[in-house]
Amino acid sequence: MLGGLSAPGGGCAALDDAEWVKELNLNLLPAVRLDRALVPAMVKRGAGVVIHVTSIQHELPLPESTTAYAAAKAALTTYSKSLSKEVTPKSMRVVGFIRISQ
């Protein structure tokens, strides 16, 4: 799965809808798509661990350079928590791993 920073610097004013969509497609939606493909089999088996790699940027964004990336990683963190609440009763775990350095 890919991830990374592709949006230009310059804060919110520099980001058009296409940049926002690109960041979400790069840093949130691959995890959602992969989970939709793999989690049902894990639930059926009654075991599994999902690991999502997020970033400290979800708590400490750099407005001049990482606004859209940070928002996508915050969305991934929230999605991970929601998925965890859904699948934990089914003997699964979801772990959000925070990557500190970029």
Give residue-wise pLDDT tens across range 13-47.
889 999 999 999 999 999 999 999 999 999 999 99
Given this model, what pLDDT does residue 14 score? 85
- β pairing state of 92-99 and 48-55: parallel
Mean pLDDT of the residues in the chain: 88
- Burial bucket for residue 85 (CB in 10 Å: 0-12, 13-18, 19+): exposed
Minimal CA–CA distance to 3: which of 33, 29, 21, 35? 29
43, 92 Cβ separation under 8 angstroms? yes
Fold of 13-99: Rossmann fold (3.40.50)
Over residues 54-80, the mean pLDDT reads 89
Whole-prediction pTM: 0.86
Return the active site residues.
Answer: 69
Q: How confident is the model at residue 99 (pLDDT cuts 50, 70, 90)?
A: confident
Rg (CA), the chain: 15
Which helix (H) or strand (E) is 47 found in, with range?
A: none
- Kindly tell me if the per-residue pLDDT of 79 is higher than 70: yes
**What are the boundaries of each domain within the chain?**
13-99
